[in-house]
Amino acid sequence: MKLSLLVADLAETETASMADPDVADVTHDSRRVEPGSLFVAVPGLHVDGHSYLDDAVSRGAVAAVVERDRMPDWASFADLHQIPIIAVEDGRKALSDLASAFQGYPARKLRVIGVTGTDGKTTTCHLIARILEQAGLRTGLVTTVDIRLGGEGRPNESHFTTPDAPELQALLGRMVAMGSQYAVIETSSHALVHQRVAGCEYDVAVLTNVTRDHMDFHGTAERYLAAKGLLYRLLSSAVSKGIPKVRVLNADDASFGPLRALGREPLLSYGVDRAATVIGRNIQERPGGVWFTAVLPGNQVDVRLQLPGRYNVYNALAALAVAVSQGIDLETAKDGLEGLVSVPGRMEPLPGDMAFRVWVDFAHTPAGLEAALAQVRSCTLGRVLVVFGCPGRRDAGKRPLMGEVAGRMADFCVLTSDDPRDESADAIMKEIEVGVVASGRHEGRDYAKVDDRREAMALAFSRAQPGDAVLLAGKGHETSLLVGEKALPWSDRDVAIELLRHTAAE
């Protein structure tokens, strides 16, 4: 694709050099630059892409996009290296726009559903996709857990919920090529703030809830809520595809009031305790899941969800609201909901004939951990044990809050390592311990600190008695443990099964 065609729709640009090379790909990572690449310099949390322009040129970049405020001498750089330089106001927005243009604006050829929120995003995405597929609609899926294209899936092995714009737009392009009609995208607050999803042209925007998370990045609860609200602003600014755009909000969540004021698109609400478009009634938690009645204006349907917990009723209601917005009949939507057996790493019970039960869950916020422990408690006759930690360089303020929840709701806690990065795992555990102690717990009797996650899990299993349950929280589906600069291979599920088999063999 010619550079001039690629940058034609970029706003507020200035260009040095009249050259018009062919562009083979678009990237913001100088390490991925190959001959023919267009390199987009964007500022990052730790490094600035403008520092890698020389590297990008040496690797074969045929043009570059820079932020004029961060590189006042951009025209001189163009003259020196004899390549076109395009100066823009916002490099991140330009990266998304260019990635979309390079792929032929794939989101304009799909119906795009975005799901944001603190907890429940992944499960809600899976429920929505299952309903769409039940209705015979070809659907692509991008979530924290997995990426599905044309009926084939693969794990999302990154630690990003939402991929960077070039990868995301390439995925959307593949969905179009495979004949998909819908794309369901789990949309994180980081992706919204960093404009990774600026070219996604959303048709439906869904919010699960807003509780405490990512304070290290957003700084305040108000800014975090505002970040979630960006999804609804993108919905309003998306190109028209000749179909109604729809907002879906949780009427029971504190975010409902502030976010309902964003946009004028039709609003569908869902909830259990307050008036809503889709209401959950007669909720019954069963050993094999949770049953409820979904009540809509002039209609209702009984759902036997195979996923556990009251919180999954909310996720299912959100998915039903999306189904209604897309004209899918209730019986088809019900069959779709009931057909989802599990989501990897989301209250996933481990197989095996054990005297006690083991669950793996991604719960990594105070609210998420509380919901997971409440669910385990509701189906456990004996004691509840929990193994968890908190990640390094991420929202240190939630550490004592997580400790308080665990101390209050579990009978025995094992504090351990969870992606400590370059922080001391011991220091992180001590910050969690403050909350555990505040709940009235005593070390040795009620909790232990074990920095090695494998040993922590082994300790919990050794303490578990027949009828007890062990919750392994925080890692869920993830396949690595971030220690220092290394991503060490890791799976709570696989390690737990290995430990349990070893114990059974003794």
Examine the pLDDT at 381 and tell me if it is beyond 70: yes
Please check whether residues 401 and 355 belong to one and the same domain: yes
Which of these three, 61, 92, 123, is where a domain ends? 92
* Encoded amino acid at 21, one letter: P
For the domain that residue 245 is a member of, what is the CATH number? 3.40.1190.10
Please check whether residues 330 and 228 belong to one and the same domain: yes
pLDDT value of residue 53: 93
Tell me whether residue 276 is in a domain. Answer: no
CB of 355 within 8 A of CB of 380? no
Mean pLDDT over all residues of the chain? 92
Tokens 């975005």 correspond to what residue?
114
* Encoded amino acid at 296, one letter: L
Kindly indicate the confidence band of residue 479, based on its pLDDT and cuts at 50, 70 and 90.
Answer: confident
Tell me whether residue 14 is in a domain. Answer: yes
Please check whether residues 113 and 262 belong to one and the same domain: yes
For the domain that residue 497 is a member of, what is the CATH number? 3.90.190.20
Tell me whether residue 286 is in a domain. Answer: no
The tokens describing 13, both together, are 């640009």
The tokens describing 475, both together, are 């890692």
Please check whether residues 107 and 237 belong to one and the same domain: yes
> Domain containing 83: what range?
3-92
Summarised one tens digit per residue, pLDDT across range 308-364 is 889 999 999 999 999 999 999 999 999 999 999 988 888 898 987 788 999 999 988
Q: How far is CA 269 from CA 212, 232, 245, in A?
A: 22, 14, 14
For the domain that residue 25 is a member of, what is the CATH number? 3.40.1390.10
Kindly indicate the confidence band of residue 485, based on its pLDDT and cuts at 50, 70 and 90.
Answer: confident
Distance of CA 486 to the CA centre of its chain: 22
Summarised one tens digit per residue, pLDDT across range 225-240 is 888 999 999 999 999 9
Instruction: Tally Cβ neighbours within 10 Å of residue 350.
Output: 16
Tell me whether residue 50 is in a domain. Answer: yes
Kindly indicate the confidence band of residue 503, based on its pLDDT and cuts at 50, 70 and 90.
Answer: low
Examine the pLDDT at 3 and tell me if it is beyond 70: yes
Kindly indicate the confidence band of residue 455, based on its pLDDT and cuts at 50, 70 and 90.
Answer: very high
Tokens 């005593």 correspond to what residue?
442
Work out how many domains the chain is built from and give that number: 3
Please check whether residues 437 and 365 belong to one and the same domain: yes
Tell me whether residue 289 is in a domain. Answer: no
pLDDT value of residue 45: 67
